[in-house]
């Protein structure tokens, strides 16, 4: 390892020496505006390439590493903690207007590694890799013993509840007959009454609810150039009495927005009845095909480790150029991880 690091330093240092006009950049802190700007771009990229579940918002920049490539050319590696919002991925509401799901609602966290390039001052995402997981039940119960917890999306009570809710909506509406796309999340409360809370994405068909009564099988999802997606939240009481409250909203046609149907997509596009998990995994691994760098976009840990050593060497070199600090100078706060935007899981 030491030999490798020495080798990398040997290879890199002459490159810096060869560019006397540009001093090495100071190390980036996780809360530096440049890191925040990179993270914002990264989060938008991640949401743009996600097809299931909800949009995610930045909770914390865990780490940032800069790898100088040459004059006006840097590679940035970001480690991000994200939190699930209440906006479905098909929702046209911009991320900044999406409410982050509260801790008590059983939060879902996303962990992402993102590789970006800053070329002549312009940032672009080269690749991203994420996964997401729900907070542990113990964590939620400790803070809120009575809070309903996330259920598996294929739980039979959840599936029956979602079907009953959609049925209730379709039986009342004068508008389009809606079909279920996916269940987004579901929780069950057991006491004092049994309640199923379920949220699901829907799409309009070419039938009105009235026309669907004649032959529901003839009702097809609208073609892509007319597609109209929407979202429903529902509460279903089953015991002691049955009661269904449902609220559905259609977003209207959004050009360019599509929903991958089963078979078309392998990331998480399973039928609702085979989803044995509590949240849609942000199991995204995406290389930007239009990135300017021919993207060798893996995140090899050895290279990352070597890089932080190289970065430290650069930082130390930068320190030498600065005015000597007086003894007793308060040390700056640790540059990473950055501040928590919402809450810690
Ligand atoms: C988003 O929030 C801003 C500021 O609160 C508001 O002006 C804007 O209308 C909102 N946009 C949407 C689509 O809700
Ligand atoms: C919906 O589309 C299907 C397939 O194209 C067609 O058979 C059906 O008649 C259409 N229904 C209505 C109400 O237009
Ligand atoms: C939910 O899915 C998992 C994994 O696919 C499966 O093992 C389980 O039996 C399913 N549960 C129900 C109620 O369908």
Give the model confidence (pLDDT) of 12-42 as tens digits.
544 444 445 556 666 899 999 999 999 999 9
At 23 the pLDDT is: 63
CATH number of 152-270: 3.10.450.10
Q: How many CB atoms lie within 10 A of CB 315?
A: 16
In angstroms, rounded to a whole number, what is the distance separating the alpha carbons of residues 235 and 244?
Answer: 6
What Å distances lie between residue 103 and 43, 184, 188, 235, 343, CA to CA? 20, 17, 16, 20, 8
Report the separation in Å between the CA atom of 99 and the middle of ligand 3, taken as the mean of its atom positions. 31
Q: Bigger pLDDT: 272 or 81?
A: 81
Listed as own residue / partner, the contacts of 313-322 with beta carbons closer than 8 Å and 24 or more positions apart are 313/9, 314/16, 314/24, 314/25, 314/27, 314/68, 315/26, 315/27, 317/24, 318/23, 318/24, 318/26, 318/27, 321/23
Residue of 321, 310, 158 whose CA lies nearest to 234? 158
Inter-residue contact 271 to 262 (CB < 8 Å): yes
At 326 the pLDDT is: 53
Residue of 21, 92, 125 whose CA lies nearest to 252? 92
| Segment 114-140 mean pLDDT | 94
pLDDT-based confidence at residue 263 (cuts at 50, 70, 90): very low
| Segment 237-241 mean pLDDT | 83
At 278 the pLDDT is: 84
Q: What percent of the chain has pLDDT over 70?
A: 74
| Segment 51-71 mean pLDDT | 95
Which residue's CA is the closest to the ligand 3 atom numbered 2?
A: 276
Q: Which ligand is nearest to the CA of 276?
A: 3
Listed in sequence order, the residues at least 6 apart from 71 whose beta carbon sits closer than 8 Å to its beta carbon are: 19, 22
Check if 160 has its Cβ closer than 6 Å to any atom of ligand 3: no
Inter-residue contact 129 to 284 (CB < 8 Å): yes
| Segment 189-196 mean pLDDT | 90
Report the separation in Å between the CA atom of 77 and the middle of ligand 2, taken as the mean of its atom positions. 50
Q: Where are the domains of the chain?
A: 33-139+286-320, 152-270
pLDDT-based confidence at residue 270 (cuts at 50, 70, 90): very low
Q: Give pLDDT tens digits for 292-339.
A: 444 444 554 433 343 344 444 444 444 444 444 455 666 666 799 999
Determine the residue of 57, 97, 98, 99 to mutate for testing ligand 1's pocket, defined as the one with the most ligand atoms within 8 A of the Cβ atom: 97
| Segment 216-221 mean pLDDT | 93
Q: Which ligand is nearest to the CA of 159?
A: 3
Ligand 1 atom index nearest CA of 97: 1
At 297 the pLDDT is: 46
Report the separation in Å between the CA atom of 193 and the middle of ligand 2, taken as the mean of its atom positions. 42
Report the separation in Å between the CA atom of 170 and the middle of ligand 2, taken as the mean of its atom positions. 17
Determine the residue of 207, 210, 223 to mutate for testing ligand 2's pocket, defined as the one with the most ligand atoms within 8 A of the Cβ atom: 207
Ligand 2 atom index nearest CA of 219: 1
Whole-prediction pTM:
0.80
Report the separation in Å between the CA atom of 91 and the middle of ligand 1, taken as the mean of its atom positions. 14
Check if 211 has its Cβ closer than 6 Å to any atom of ligand 2: yes
Burial 212-230 (b: 16+ CB within 10 A, else e): beeeeeebebeeeeebbbb
Domain range 33-139+286-320, its CATH number among 3.10.450.10, 3.30.60.50, 3.40.50.720, 2.40.50.100: 3.10.450.10
Check if 206 has its Cβ closer than 6 Å to any atom of ligand 2: yes
At 279 the pLDDT is: 85
| The domains spanning 33-139+286-320 and 152-270 adopt the same CATH topology | yes
Report the separation in Å between the CA atom of 324 and the middle of ligand 1, taken as the mean of its atom positions. 48
Report the separation in Å between the CA atom of 139 and the middle of ligand 3, taken as the mean of its atom positions. 25
Which residue's CA is the closest to the ligand 3 atom numbered 6?
A: 276
- Please tell me the least confidently modeled range out of 63-67, 103-107, 218-222, 237-241: 237-241
In angstroms, rounded to a whole number, what is the distance separating the alpha carbons of residues 29 and 101?
Answer: 27
Listed in sequence order, the residues at least 6 apart from 59 whose beta carbon sits closer than 8 Å to its beta carbon are: 81, 82, 83, 100, 109, 340, 341, 342, 343
Inter-residue contact 27 to 315 (CB < 8 Å): yes
Helices 2-17 and 301-321, axial angle in degrees (round to 10): 50
């Amino acid at each position: 390892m030491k030999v490798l690091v020495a080798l990398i330093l040997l290879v890199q240092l002459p490159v810096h020496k060869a560019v006397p006009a540009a001093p090495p950049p100071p190390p980036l802190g996780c809360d530096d505006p440049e890191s925040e700007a990179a993270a914002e771009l990264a989060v938008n990229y991640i949401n743009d390439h996600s097809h299931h579940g909800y949009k995610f918002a930045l909770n914390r920049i865990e780490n940032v590493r800069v790898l100088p490539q040459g004059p006006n050319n840097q590679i940035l590696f970001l480690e991000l903690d994200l939190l699930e919002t209440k906006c479905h991925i098909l929702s046209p509401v911009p991320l900044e207007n999406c409410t982050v799901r509260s801790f008590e609602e059983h939060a879902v966290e996303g962990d992402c590694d993102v590789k970006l390039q800053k070329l002549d001052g312009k940032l672009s995402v080269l690749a991203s890799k994420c996964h997401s997981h729900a907070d542990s039940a113990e964590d939620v119960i400790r803070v809120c013993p009575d809070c309903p917890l996330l259920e598996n999306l294929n739980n039979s009570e959840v599936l029956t509840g979602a079907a009953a809710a959609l049925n209730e909506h379709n039986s009342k509406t004068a508008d389009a007959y809606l079909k279920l796309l996916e269940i987004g999340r579901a929780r069950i409360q057991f006491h004092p009454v049994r309640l199923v809370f379920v949220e699901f994405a829907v799409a309009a068909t070419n039938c009105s609810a009235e026309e669907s009564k004649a032959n529901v099988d003839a009702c097809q999802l609208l073609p892509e150039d007319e597609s109209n997606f929407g979202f429903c939240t529902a509460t279903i009481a089953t015991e002691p009495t049955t009661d269904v409250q449902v609220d559905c909203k259609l977003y209207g046609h959004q050009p360019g927005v599509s929903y991958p149907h089963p078979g078309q997509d392998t990331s998480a596009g399973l039928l609702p009845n085979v989803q044995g998990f509590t949240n849609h995994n942000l199991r995204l691994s995406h290389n930007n095909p239009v990135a300017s760098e021919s993207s060798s976009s893996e995140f090899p840990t050895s290279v990352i480790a070597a890089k932080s050593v190289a970065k430290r060497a650069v930082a130390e070199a930068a320190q030498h150029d600065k005015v000597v600090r007086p003894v007793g100078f308060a040390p700056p706060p640790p540059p990473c991880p950055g501040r928590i935007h919402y809450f810690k899981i």
